[in-house]
Structures are given as structure tokens and as C-alpha cells.
Structure 1
């Protein structure tokens, strides 16, 4: 190409290319494989004034079809308007620009153009030309698309891998069939016990309560005798039911010991208050004492200790017709010289009565299951003979032992020990409750005191969905002198509290719309005095783990059906008599919403055995590629779970949890899979979901770090 191909000189006399070297530059421009074009910004519509051979080959136009025209002739229907505007703005302002733009050749075929435009100025700094270079990058663009297609194919392969992994899971599950069957049998037994507890206790509430109501109506002496027999038989049936359920649970190996801080003084006081009315009715004196050097607060299982004392004191009252029952507690080693115990505290208890006593032969058998002193004892006093067998197992589970001394006609003394530990912190509720003296001496009211004590009249709110139970509880509490408003579900309880003032709230724990736990949490979240009201839970479910879950919702007390009316009345009066401003209000806990938390923690983040199986089946390269996709995919499903939770879309939450559970299980991340399955199973339970989501977030993050950090070597837990 000769210099004559360049445009004529401009009005200023400048040349686009100096004539002295124009031939060399033109030859270089024509030889390069990159398209080169020159635009004159001084002319209207900024036309092309030069283009080299590569530019003409890329675009398919001849030179005379390009010179004098605007570069927009290369644009087409799918050219990005934003990119066009960026080019226009650069030319308008004299700025450089680099873009990839979809252009069209003369024959209409599209191509991707990597276009770079730079301004050229004269020695005075004035803009003279725009020089553009372009490269056809359609092939590299196609390669990128092919890469995306390959990634989609990899995703498809991953789905096929999931199916293969599921087959591997099924094979491993078959190998563990015996263990799973045993666990299922254990769970079935637990469910059976819970069902029997609930299904038997609920109708017994009506039987016992209606018997009490019937005794308060005009009856002939013969009718009163019939009703008393009915009432006594119902009490006996309840005792048998309680003993069988407790013993069955212990025999099944499902006895779990709690370890929390509690007030020893308060626990003994509760036992005395519970049996005070029953002892006074028989004219017995019931007292308790705790030695001065005994720790006020200890760490252990207060529920099991209370159960042992309940059994022993109940037996003492049953087998004592005159005299007294005494409870004593002390620490036999106050100086801590029991080196073998370490930090353990040895506590000793005695329950002594002046009852009928036992022979030496009877004492030898008294802790055996289904054994009583003799046949006459069973006929006269009733019972299953399980109570003391249960006490023995509970005491042994608390690291102690139990023994008995007795003489016929001279009374009986049960002695037992337990091991506990010093309390880590005094329970908050006990710290705010009424103080007790350093040496506790409690005495029950006498029969005369009990008869002459005026009844407290309180306004109570009852939430109970069963019509018969609602009528019964309302009638019994009204007879005891209280005023009752009764509703059928938790939402109605909240509405009633917003409309009126009450002294205490009684809640059935299995109500529809809002159950007892949800209602209790809702009350504790209210503002004003209503949030500090005493709340008493009532349920036919006597299993300890369920009781603990109910109490963790913020209850002040929890009673099981059939209801002991005297005990219920005493609890109501005791709680309602405490000033609201001073009482310690139970705070709903979150940890109990996820009882499986410890089970989750026992599972590994990554199952190396499962990954080894996948590696053998797929090959290391394929598996490693898929593992690199796992963190991103898991985070995507976690984001969907969060969004569903915030948007109150439980079905979407369940779907995302189900997807994540399958993904995690297939890739050998069992802890993530277990939590996701729990979310899938409990997606309608807001308390469990609220507790599980943060747990899942932490596990997804921890699992992702393990996988990403292990690319250079095998993953570890």
C-alpha cells in the first residue's frame, strides 16, 4: 500500500502519517493480523478514514464500503445497547475504551469483536484521530460456552453420582439392620410408655375429679360409701400406673440422670409442703431438718432426688396411723476428707416414722420388685411393690446406696446416700425466693391448723381443650374458693390475658392452635405484669424428659394428671402469694428445643469411610471436582432455608432442607445431613426450626472449611 491511500491533508496541513515514513508504516499496518481502523473525529458523524487488510477480512467489507462510513454499520439486532453507548461516550469525550461487542459481518453472520479504541493527539495536545484495533474472539467465547456446558454436564454427572451414592447408602444400611432394629424397638417402647402415660392419665383425671365432685353433693350413706370406694380404687390405679411406667423405663435402660444446680433446702421444703395436708389429715406430725454445715446449693438431679423422698415419705404416711414422720439431711464428711470422692459431696438422708414397722424377713425383701411385706399388707394398703425397688435403682444411679432398719410396731427408718457436686452457681430463681435459715427446720401444719386456715380466693385463667376436664378443673377450683375463667386453646389464653387481670394461669400442655409450651413462651414475651404471672402446666404425660422440656418453656410448676387437688391448690396459693415485682420469672430456654444437639456433636463433619467408597467408585479426579462444588451448593440451600424462614414459608423450608439432607448424606457429611433431616422432620415447629438453623449454619461453614482445606490431602473430621 502506498501513502496515496491515506486521506488528503486536513485544513491545518497535517498528515495522518508522515510522508517520509508512510510507506513503512502502511506496510506494517497491512501485515498485522489485528484489525486496525482510523476514525476522524473532526468530520461529521466521525467516519472511518482508514482500515487495514485484517479489519476488512474480519468484517467482510471492501475498503470502499468502509471508508467514509461510521463504525456503527457493524452493529446488528443483538448488539448490546449498553456497550454501544460506552463506545459512543468514549468517542464523544476523547477517552480510550476497551470492550467485547457482538458485531455482524457483511454477510450477516455475527462475531465477537474485542475492540480497543485509543485517541491520538497532535503535538499541541489536540485530538486528531481515534485508532481502533479489533480481534475476532468468537472462538474463545465459544470455548467459554463449552466450559459452561461442561459444568452443566458435571452437575448432571453429580446427580447420577448421588443416585450411585444412595445405592451405597442402602447397602450400608442393610449391613446395620440389626442395630437399627434394636434402636427402633427401644424408641417404640419409649413411645408406648409415653402413649400409655397420656392415654391412661387423661381419663383418670375425670374419674378421680368427678368422684371428688360427687362426694360434695347430697348423698346417702350407702352412696357415699360407693363413691369413696370408687375414689380409693382410682388412687390405687394411679399409683400402680406411676410405678409400672417408672419401673419399665428403668428396666429399658432409658434412665437419664440430669446434672444441674439446685437448692437442697428448697427441695426438702417442697416435699414437706406436698405432704403437709395428707399428714395433717391423719393427725401426724411431719418435720424436716437439714444440718447447718450442709451445702445450701448442690449440683445433681433434683427430680430424681425428689422422687426418692416422695416415695419414702408417702410410704411413711401410708403405714403410720399415729405419731410422726421425720426427714433429716446432712453431710457426713463436712471437712472434705473423703479423698476418693474428689470433688463429690456425699449427702445422707433419713426418713423415719413411728408406723407399723417390719420383721427381719420383711426387711430383707423390701427392695425387690413386686414384693411387699406380706399378703396382708397388699390387701390393706394396696400398691405394686415397685416404689422401693425404684428408689433403690434411683439412689444407685446417683452414686449412693439405700438401707432400712425397722422393728414391728416400733416404726421404720430408711437411710440413703447420694453423691453430688458443689453448685457452679446458685439457681437464679432460688436466689430471689424467700430466704431460708442456715439450719432448716420445717414442720407441717397440725390437723387443727389445716382445718382452721382460711381459703385464699384467687382469679385464675385455665387453658384446657378437653370439655370434660375443663368442666372438672373449673368446678374443683371453684369449690376451693377461686374464680375461674376457662378457654379451649393457647391463643384464647393470650387474648384473655390481654383483656383482664389474673393471679395465675393453668395450662394443659397438649392444647390445639397453640400448645402449652408455645403459649408459655408467648406469655413470657408479653409486656407488663402478665409476663410475670405464675404459670402452672398440667399434662397427662409423666415422662421426665418431657417434663423438663415443658419446664424449659418458662413454667413455674408442672403437675401430672390425675390431679391431686390439694397439691394443686397449695402450689397455686404458694406461687400467687409471692409479689410479682420480687418473684424470679422463669426464662424460656432455647437449648431444650433441640434435644438432639449432643447427638449431632457426636457425628463427624466428614465420613472418611464414605468418601473412600465414593473415590473407589468414581475415581479421585471426579470426586475431588464434585467436592469442590459441595460448599457452594450447600450454601445455596442454606440461603433458601434462611429466606423461607424469614418469609414464613415452611413448605419451601422443608424442600430446601430435604435437598440439603440428601446432598450431605450422599457426599459423606453426616453431621450436616442429620441437622438438615431434623429441619425437614420438624419444619412446622417454630421453636425447633429457630434452634436448628443457627446450628446448621455453623456446621455448613465448618464442613466447607474442612473440604476446601483438604484438597491437598484426605479430609479429616
Structure 2
């Protein structure tokens, strides 16, 4: 029976004496290697199967085990009778006599060529996928930069024009420019967020925050949008929320802006109601927010697709209301990363209810103190601040100069990183507004040079169209102190300068200049 099993096994089996000379083989040995028993008898496996491409270290490792009278396992490249190279998984076991001597060796070998080839193909496919992912990320980063740079000029200049004396018609034109630019920026941000979420690279950043004010801030932000369409926007807190929770308040705002913004967008009469409640289990809090509207609703056969990427109910909806179809997809992915979910109930023609559930933790022991609003419109807060602007785009240089004109700031501008480093060496600056992408020397390299040559030196704030979190990390790692993503508003820019002045006042350092 054992002989029959050996003869009919799929694996190659052969027996060799203590000198490793073959004296018996099964049928699979002949099928795999091409050698008959008569051709193999009296010869060693090395004489039959080794080729110039066989790994010497593998042979030596197997030989060492055999010489120690121990079982040997391994994968080795062999050559068949007809010259084909095949990968073999071998298992060689010594058979001992009663007095402990080696009587023979039993070798069981399996052809794993197909498995090896498949593994190589998978490795190549994985490498190509990684290269494709890197290429996509590089493309998105480039597009983000190339689009955000002119967008910074469009939005910034529209903001400046809006502050000038305009008649009603001109004000409407400027408002249209701003709204159109904001819509385009929202599309860019959606695509970037979706790409990062799809690649699993968008991280949740938990902080201690007040959930009630966070939700009310979103409501206040969107109330004007609802009023413009003569819609009501009501909020009901059905349970008394904790004063402080720990979670990503920025992502919560993003989800709520998407859900409530969509509800307003798809509602023509009536309005939107936001119901808020929570449940507590230990130190965990489950926050539940229902967004109910009296809008157009969603057809039953479309309900299963509202969270699909680039999807809206139908083409007519897209034409009438616009949008990328990414908002709900991004919101659900974010909610899931926050330990929650988004569900929808809708009746076509009667309205929809989107329910957001997210999981939060109790706030830390030391509850943060609410910050007073900084008086960003008070010129004396920035009086005499010495600022260097490193920016290669002439429009953006002019924009920053106009945005800061009323603050009595000493502003000097250069167009590349080399000039920025030289300017810091020539004069003592409090703050450098540093673009990342510039000719001759980029902002990252310029920052490193400044830190190497002048010590702590000025506060360096990235002012860049590169909006990825990896870009922010790279800026901070190079020695920058803050990060602003274009397009930048006056309030954001002034707040960054105030933060820089505060850091300078609180942490005086010995600076090396000239």
C-alpha cells in the first residue's frame, strides 16, 4: 500500500543512499523532471538538477542539514532534463538504522513554479499599484497647487473689491464672483478629501471641544443660505449635551455642512430641522444628529446610490442643483472613521432625513478654556511687525500687500527662496510668509537654510497652494512654525500673524542675523 501511494502521489518522491545517490523514484519524479529511474539511478540530485542559476547559499544550507543528519527543507531552482528551469519545494528526511547510522534519504519535492510566478506577478502588480497611487497623489497635489494659486488671486481680489464703495449692481457682481470661486474651491477640496479617504490617508484629529457651540456655529453659518431661499432652519437639542467632548470637531463641522447644506440646496419650500441627541456608555458618547428637510426627496430605487462616488439621484438633479456627487460619499467615509455611520430615509416629493451617528469620548481631565475672539481688525496689534513675503506669483504678492496695507506692517517681498535666505541674512524680520513652490529654491529648502544659518530666526509661516496634510507635515519638519493654505482670507492671514507675534513675545530667543 505504501508503495502504491508513493507511485501515485502528485509530488515527486525519490530515495537515495547515504551518499545521496538515487536508487528509486516514483512516476511523478519522471513527470516533473523528465528523468526515468534508469537515467537517475546512481546519480546525485545535484548532478541532475543544479544549474548555473541555482542559488549556492541554498545548496549549502541544505547540504549542512544533511551532513548533520537532520531533515532539510527549502525552495531551490532546478533544471529539468529538457533544460527548463523550475522552482522546487523540497523536504529531505534521513532514515536511521537501529544503531543510529544513516540508511537512506527520502526526498519529497513539489513543483512550485506556478506559485512563484503568481507571487512575482502579484509583487509587480502591487508595485505598479503603488506607483499609480504615487502618480495620482503627485497629480492631485500639482493640480491643487496650480488651481489654488490663481484662485487665491480671484478670491482675494474679490474680497478687496467688496470692501470698496460699490453700487448695488457692482456688489452683486462681486458676490457672484465670490460664490462661484467658493463653489470651485469646494469641488477641489471634495476631490482631494475623497482621494485621501479612498487611500486611507486622511486622519482623524481628536481634540477637546464643545459640541453644542460647534453644531450651532454650522447652523449660523448656513442660516443666511436658508434665508435667501425663504426657508426655515430650526435646531432642537433633545438631550442636554455634555459641555465638552473629545473628537474631531473640524470633521464633524465638515459632515454637518455637507448634510445641512444639501438639505437647503434640495429644498424649495418649507425648511430644514436639525434634531440633536446623545447616549452615554461609560466614557463613550454616541452623538446622533437628524437633518430633516421638506425638499424634493429621493426616489426609492435611488436611495441605495446616494452615497456612491460622483453620484446624484439623476442627471436632471445634477443639472438643476450642481455639485460633484462627492459630498455624501466623503461624509459617510468620515463618519465611519469616527466610529459612526450616516443613514437616510426619504420619500420622493416629501423630503429626506439624514441621520448622522458619531462616537466621541469624554473630554480630558483638564477641560480647555474657551478662547476669546482675537481682535484681528485692530491695527495696533500688528503695528511695526517686520514681515518678509517670499512668493513667486506677482498677483499673490500684490494681494498680500493689499490685504495687510491697513495694519502698518513693514512688508518686503521677494520672488524666490534664494532671495528669501539672503533677505533674512541682511535684515531682522519677525515673520516670513513662505510659499512652498518657488524657482531657484523652494520654500522647504529655504526654510532649512534659514534655520541652519540664522538659528531660530524669524517665525516662518507657510503660505502655499499645497493643501495636503503631508505638505503641512513637511513644512513643520523643515522648521516652519505655522501653515496657511491658499486661497487665504484676510482674517486667516492676520490671525496667523497674531499667533506668530504671540509666540515671539512668549518665547524670546537670541537671533543670529547678518
Q: TM-score range by the shorter chain?
A: 0.5 to 0.7
Q: How does 1:51-90 map to 2 (within 5 A)?
A: none
How far apart, CA to CA, are the structure 2 residues paired with 1:436 and 1:240? 34
- Pick from 456, 468, 479 the counterpart of residue 395 of structure 2: 468
* Residue 238 in structure 1 maps to residue 189 in structure 2: no
- Pick from 340, 361, 365 the counterpart of residue 298 of structure 2: 361
Q: How does 1:589-628 map to 2 (within 5 A)?
A: none
Match of residue 242 from structure 2: 291
Shift of 1:390: 0.7
Task: Report Cα offsets for 1:436-469 as digits up to 9, x if no partner.
Answer: 24xx7x9999xxx99xx65665234322122221
How far apart, CA to CA, are the structure 2 residues paired with 1:285 and 1:499? 58
Q: 1:276 to 1:390 in 2, by over 3 A?
A: closer
Match of residue 538 from structure 1: 463
Structure showing greater relative contact order (alpha-carbon pairs closer than 8 Å, 6 or more residues apart): 2
- Pick from 133, 141, 148 the counterpart of residue 186 of structure 1: 133
Q: 1:582 to 1:318 in 2, by over 3 A?
A: farther
Shift of 1:200: 1.9
Match of residue 255 from structure 1: 200
- Pick from 307, 312, 323 the counterpart of residue 256 of structure 2: 312
Q: How does 1:99-118 map to 2 (within 5 A)?
A: none
* Residue 264 in structure 1 maps to residue 188 in structure 2: no
Match of residue 98 from structure 1: none
How far apart, CA to CA, are the structure 1 residues paired with 2:192 and 2:174? 27
Q: 1:371 to 1:182 in 2, by over 3 A?
A: closer
How far apart, CA to CA, are the structure 2 residues paired with 1:477 and 1:250? 36
Shift of 1:577: 6.3
List runs of 5+ in structure 1 lacking aligned partners.
Answer: 1-167, 336-345, 586-717
Deviates further, 478-487 or 463-472: 478-487
Does the CA-based 8 Å contact 2:258-2:327 persist in structure 1?
Answer: no
- Pick from 474, 477, 498 the counterpart of residue 552 of structure 1: 477
Match of residue 70 from structure 2: none
- Pick from 340, 349, 368 the counterpart of residue 436 of structure 1: 368
Task: Report Cα offsets for 1:597-641 as digits up to 9, x if no partner.
Answer: xxxxxxxxxxxxxxxxxxxxxxxxxxxxxxxxxxxxxxxxxxxxx
How far apart, CA to CA, are the structure 2 residues paired with 1:500 and 1:323? 58
Task: Report Cα offsets for 1:313-357 as digits up to 9, x if no partner.
Answer: 36546866999999989783225xxxxxxxxxx55445677x955
Match of residue 125 from structure 1: none
Higher share of residues assigned strand: 2
List runs of 5+ in structure 2 lacking aligned partners.
Answer: 1-84, 86-115, 228-232, 510-514
Match of residue 204 from structure 1: 151
How far apart, CA to CA, are the structure 1 residues paired with 2:476 and 2:277? 27
Match of residue 15 from structure 2: none
* Residue 389 in structure 1 maps to residue 302 in structure 2: no
Q: 1:318 to 1:293 in 2, by over 3 A?
A: closer
Q: 1:255 to 1:278 in 2, by over 3 A?
A: same
Match of residue 225 from structure 1: 172
Match of residue 415 from structure 1: 356
- Paired residue secondary structure (2:307): coil
Does the CA-based 8 Å contact 2:418-2:441 persist in structure 1?
Answer: yes
Does the CA-based 8 Å contact 1:286-1:326 persist in structure 2?
Answer: yes
- Paired residue secondary structure (1:416): strand
How far apart, CA to CA, are the structure 2 residues paired with 1:554 and 1:274? 34
Shift of 1:207: 2.5
Q: 1:436 to 1:238 in 2, by over 3 A?
A: same
- Pick from 508, 517, 521 the counterpart of residue 435 of structure 2: 508
How far apart, CA to CA, are the structure 1 residues paired with 2:465 and 2:277? 32
Match of residue 78 from structure 2: none
Does the CA-based 8 Å contact 2:218-2:253 persist in structure 1?
Answer: no
Does the CA-based 8 Å contact 2:263-2:295 persist in structure 1?
Answer: no
* Residue 578 in structure 1 maps to residue 502 in structure 2: yes
Shift of 1:177: 4.9
Paired residues in the alignment total 374
Shift of 1:392: 0.8
How far apart, CA to CA, are the structure 1 residues paired with 2:424 and 2:133? 42
Q: 1:248 to 1:263 in 2, by over 3 A?
A: closer
How far apart, CA to CA, are the structure 2 residues paired with 1:327 and 1:538? 39
How far apart, CA to CA, are the structure 2 residues paired with 1:520 and 1:409? 57
Match of residue 230 from structure 2: none
How far apart, CA to CA, are the structure 2 residues paired with 1:330 and 1:236? 33
- Pick from 546, 555, 563 the counterpart of residue 488 of structure 2: 563
Does the CA-based 8 Å contact 1:457-1:481 persist in structure 2?
Answer: no
TM-score norm. by structure 2 comes to: 0.54
How far apart, CA to CA, are the structure 2 residues paired with 1:361 and 1:466? 46
Does the CA-based 8 Å contact 2:204-2:337 persist in structure 1?
Answer: no
Q: 1:541 to 1:231 in 2, by over 3 A?
A: same
Shift of 1:310: 2.4
- Pick from 325, 333, 340 the counterpart of residue 281 of structure 2: 333
Match of residue 488 from structure 1: 415
Does the CA-based 8 Å contact 1:316-1:352 persist in structure 2?
Answer: no
Deviates further, 408-417 or 480-489: 408-417
Higher share of residues assigned helix: 1
Does the CA-based 8 Å contact 1:326-1:352 persist in structure 2?
Answer: yes
- Paired residue secondary structure (2:466): coil
How far apart, CA to CA, are the structure 1 residues paired with 2:431 and 2:275? 31
Task: Report Cα offsets for 1:447-505 as digits up to 9, x if no partner.
Answer: xx99xx65665234322122221112222232677553322234544555566666644
Does the CA-based 8 Å contact 1:279-1:285 persist in structure 2?
Answer: no
Bigger Rg, structure 1 or 2:
1
Q: 1:358 to 1:556 in 2, by over 3 A?
A: farther
TM-score norm. by structure 1 comes to: 0.41
